[in-house]
Amino acid sequence: MDFEQARFNMIEQQVRPWDVLAPDVLDLLGAVRREDFVPAAYRNLAFTDMEIPLPCGELMLAPRVEARLLQELALRKHESVLEIGTGSGFVAALLGHSAAQVTTVEIHPELAEAAQARLRHAGVLNATVRCLDASRELPGGEFDAILLSGSVAQIPDALVARLKVGGRLCAIVGDAPMMRAQRLTRIGASDSKVVDLFDTVAPRLHGFAETPRFRF
């Protein structure tokens, strides 16, 4: 398989048409080897417009969704980032090239260990994988940006509290089949602004509160 041609096609046929036009994001997608973060059995599908199965029943987001979320975070080189849902480690690698420091949290030990190994192999030394249930425990400190690599029913207050003032959080919010990516910006100690970005559907992150169901 010609991975370079497949990578080019992914960028031009999937990512650009999804309004991902930031040169730094497009350059990263051309430089970071997505195929090295995909399970061996699915390596030839690394650049297809689909969610790729991972161990532990998890899924790797489609490339266009990963790229759009990264663009919407608008990271700067001096910033610190928290990712919830490490998965394969590919998004953490993109974040690592975009920011000063990345902490990425994964609930499954098997995925956390494999992702850290892939990140080291790729030379991404500023990204640290923590094996935690992020719905119950978070790494210490505040962050300039937070990315949820999966969906939640609503943005958790505990995560908003970890944003610095001026910090951004991107998440896919809602219930299937109607989910929407949102960007929350913390504009004060108790104030934030939420902007709707695009409609999509993504696998659930474990442990976070679900939308209450009406009962008759």
Q: What pLDDT was estimated at residue 209?
A: 86
Whether residue 36 is predicted with pLDDT greater than 90 in this model: the reply is: yes
Whether residue 215 is predicted with pLDDT greater than 70 in this model: the reply is: no
Residue 12 DSSP class:
I
Tokens in use for 211?
A: 């939308």
C-alpha of 132 from chain center: 16
For helices 90-98 and 23-31, angle between their N-to-C axes, nearest 10 degrees: 130
pLDDT digits (tens, 9 = 90+) for 137-171: 999 999 999 999 999 999 999 999 999 999 999 99
Would you list the domain boundaries of the chain? 3-200
With CA atoms as reference, report the closest residue to 169 among 155, 151, 158, 183. 183
Alpha-carbon gap, residue 31 to 34, rounded angstroms: 9
pLDDT digits (tens, 9 = 90+) for 92-143: 999 999 999 999 999 999 999 999 999 999 999 999 999 999 999 999 999 9
Residues 6+ apart with CB under 8 A from 216: none
Mean per-residue pLDDT over the chain, rounded? 96
Q: What pLDDT was estimated at residue 208?
A: 92
Q: What pLDDT was estimated at residue 211?
A: 74
Residues 6+ apart with CB under 8 A from 150: 61, 84, 85, 172, 202, 203, 204, 205
Whether residue 214 is predicted with pLDDT greater than 80 in this model: the reply is: no
pLDDT digits (tens, 9 = 90+) for 6-16: 999 999 999 99
Alpha-carbon gap, residue 125 to 52, rounded angstroms: 25
User: What is the reported pTM?
Assistant: 0.95
What is the CATH number that goes with domain 3-200? 3.40.50.150
pLDDT band at 213 (very low <50, low <70, confident <90, very high): low
Q: What pLDDT was estimated at residue 1?
A: 85
Alpha-carbon gap, residue 85 to 104, rounded angstroms: 7
pLDDT digits (tens, 9 = 90+) for 61-75: 999 999 999 999 999
